[in-house]
Amino acid sequence: MRVRGHYLALFDVDGTVRAVQNTCLHVGNPIDDGTVKDGCVTCPWHGWRYDLRSGEHLTVFGRRPGLRTYEVRVVGDDIMVDIED
Ligand code: FES
């Protein structure tokens, strides 16, 4: 989804909503159809993995800077994402 110029992907991680930028750092494809396991999403295009808590890119060489993350609050049925810069 796009909110005020931010392209967001929301995931349910063991009952906690996580929001990250919806643009994979590999070639920029969306990651919102990726599979989630152990708190990490795997990009559906070529398999890059990201920790949804920190946004870090998980590589065979370790953790690297990754996706932008956003603070999320759930208020009743509403999901509020802080998109301030
Ligand atoms: S676009 Fe995500 S791994 Fe290639």
Structure confidence at residue 26 (pLDDT): 98
State the Rg of the chain over Cα.
Answer: 12
Could you give the domains of the chain?
2-82 (2.102.10.10)
What is the model's pLDDT at position 1? Answer: 87
φ, ψ dihedrals at 62, nearest 5°: 120, -165
Structure confidence at residue 3 (pLDDT) = 87
In a 13 Å sphere around the CA of 28, the CA atoms on its Cβ side amount to 0
CB of 15 closer than 6 A to ligand 1?
Answer: no
pTM for this structure? Answer: 0.93
Convert the pLDDT of each residue in 29-84 to its tens digit.
999 999 999 999 999 999 999 999 999 999 999 999 999 999 999 999 999 999 98
Give the residue, by CA position, lying nearest to ligand 1 atom 3: 46
